[in-house]
C-alpha cells in the first residue's frame, strides 16, 4: 500500500448524530447539539497532534434553515458562545480559525464575533480549523461559475470555489451512520477517501479519529493512475 504523510492532510468531518444522541437519552435536541460542541475540542487537539494541516467541520448547512426556529436559534447561540470561549485556547495552541459559508444571513453580532475570532487566530500555524456554517457546496460552485470566464482553467476555478488556502480534501469522515455527502465540499472531494462510522458525533473521540486515519493511511490512492507496483509490472 502507498503510504501517506499526514503533514498537510486535509480532513473534513460531517458532524452528524447530535439529535439522535439526545433522543436516545430522553433529552432535547438542543442538549444534543451542546454535547456535539463539547466533542469538538478533543478532536481538534487530536487532529493537531496527528499532523493534520487543515480540518474542516460541517456544523450547519444552508439546508438546515428548514429546521424548527427554536433549534436554529439554539445553534446560533452555540456558535456565538463557542467563538467567544475557544479563541484564547486556539491562539495559544497555534490553531487558525476560519468560517466558510454565507454570513449575510447570520445575526450581525455573530458576524462580528466571527471576524474577531479570525483576526485573533490569523497567525496560527499548527492547524487550520475551518467551520462550515450556512454552507452549501453547490452554492459555492455556482458562485464560482458566475465569476469565471471562458479562459478560466481548472486550478483557477478551484480557487474561485474554495479560496487560495483550501487544499483538496484527502479524507472525508461522516459520523452518525449515514452514507452521503450532504452538499459538503463537493468540488474538493473529487478524490477524497470516504470513511463512514456509526458513532454519533457527541461520542466521537480521539480513538475514533485515530482509527479513521489508520484506515486512510492503509488505502492505495491512485488519483486515476496506477499504483507503483502496477506501473513496475
Grid coordinates given for 149: 470566464
Q: What is the pLDDT of residue 46?
A: 96
Kindly state the average pLDDT of the residues 87-104. Answer: 96
What is the span of the domain harbouring residue 56? Answer: 9-218
Kindly state the average pLDDT of the residues 163-183. Answer: 92
Confirm whether 4 is domain-assigned. Answer: no
* 4 contact partners, CB below 8 Å, separation of at least 6: 170, 216, 217, 221
Kindly state the average pLDDT of the residues 94-122. Answer: 97
pLDDT higher than threshold 60 for residue 71: yes
Confirm whether 15 is domain-assigned. Answer: yes
- Residue of 64, 168, 183, 203 with catalytic role: 64
Find residue 172's DSSP bridge partners.
12, 194
- Residue of 5, 7, 16, 63 with catalytic role: 16
pLDDT higher than threshold 80 for residue 222: no
What is the tally of structural domains in the chain? 1
Q: Which CATH number fits the domain that encloses residue 108?
A: 3.40.1180.10
Q: How far apart are CA 8 and CA 208, in angstroms?
A: 20
Q: What is the pLDDT of residue 177?
A: 97
Q: What is the pLDDT of residue 230?
A: 55
Confirm whether 177 is domain-assigned. Answer: yes
Q: What is the pLDDT of residue 233?
A: 52
Kindly state the average pLDDT of the residues 23-34. Answer: 97
Q: What is the pLDDT of residue 5?
A: 37
Grid coordinates given for 164: 487560495
Element spanning 43, H or E: helix 40-49
User: pLDDT digit string (tens) for 39-50?
Assistant: 999 999 999 999
pLDDT higher than threshold 50 for residue 6: no
Confirm whether 65 is domain-assigned. Answer: yes
Q: How far apart are CA 92 and CA 83, in angstroms?
A: 15
Confirm whether 93 is domain-assigned. Answer: yes
Confirm whether 228 is domain-assigned. Answer: no
pLDDT higher than threshold 90 for residue 118: yes
64 noted as active-site residue: yes
Average pLDDT, the chain: 92
155 noted as active-site residue: no
Confirm whether 1 is domain-assigned. Answer: no
CB atoms near residue 153 (< 10 Å)? 8
Confirm whether 233 is domain-assigned. Answer: no
pLDDT band, very low/low/confident/very high, at 167 (cuts 50, 70, 90): confident
Amino acid at each position: 500500500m502507498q503510504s501517506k504523510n499526514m503533514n498537510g492532510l486535509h480532513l473534513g468531518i460531517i458532524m452528524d448524530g447530535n439529535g439522535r444522541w439526545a433522543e436516545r437519552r430522553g433529552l432535547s435536541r438542543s442538549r444534543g447539539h451542546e454535547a456535539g460542541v463539547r466533542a469538538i475540542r478533543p478532536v481538534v487537539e487530536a487532529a493537531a497532534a496527528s499532523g493534520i494541516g487543515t480540518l474542516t467541520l460541517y456544523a450547519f448547512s444552508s439546508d438546515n434553515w428548514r429546521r424548527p426556529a427554536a433549534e436554529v436559534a439554539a445553534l446560533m447561540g452555540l456558535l456565538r458562545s463557542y467563538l467567544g470561549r475557544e479563541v484564547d485556547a486556539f491562539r495559544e495552541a497555534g490553531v487558525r480559525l476560519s468560517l466558510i459559508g454565507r454570513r449575510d444571513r447570520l445575526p450581525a453580532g455573530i458576524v462580528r464575533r466571527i471576524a474577531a475570532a479570525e483576526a485573533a487566530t490569523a497567525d496560527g500555524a499548527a492547524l487550520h480549523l475551518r467551520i462550515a456554517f450556512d454552507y452549501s457546496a453547490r452554492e459555492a460552485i455556482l458562485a464560482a461559475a458566475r465569476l469565471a470566464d471562458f479562459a478560466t482553467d481548472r486550478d483557477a476555478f478551484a480557487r474561485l470555489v474554495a479560496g487560495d488556502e483550501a487544499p483538496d480534501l484527502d479524507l472525508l469522515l461522516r459520523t452518525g451512520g449515514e452514507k452521503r455527502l450532504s452538499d459538503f465540499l463537493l468540488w474538493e472531494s473529487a478524490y477524497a477517501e470516504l470513511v463512514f462510522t456509526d458513532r454519533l458525533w457527541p461520542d466521537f473521540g480521539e480513538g475514533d479519529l485515530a482509527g479513521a486515519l489508520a484506515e486512510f493511511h492503509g488505502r492505495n490512492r491512485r488519483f486515476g493512475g496506477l499504483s507503483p507496483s502496477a506501473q513496475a509490472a
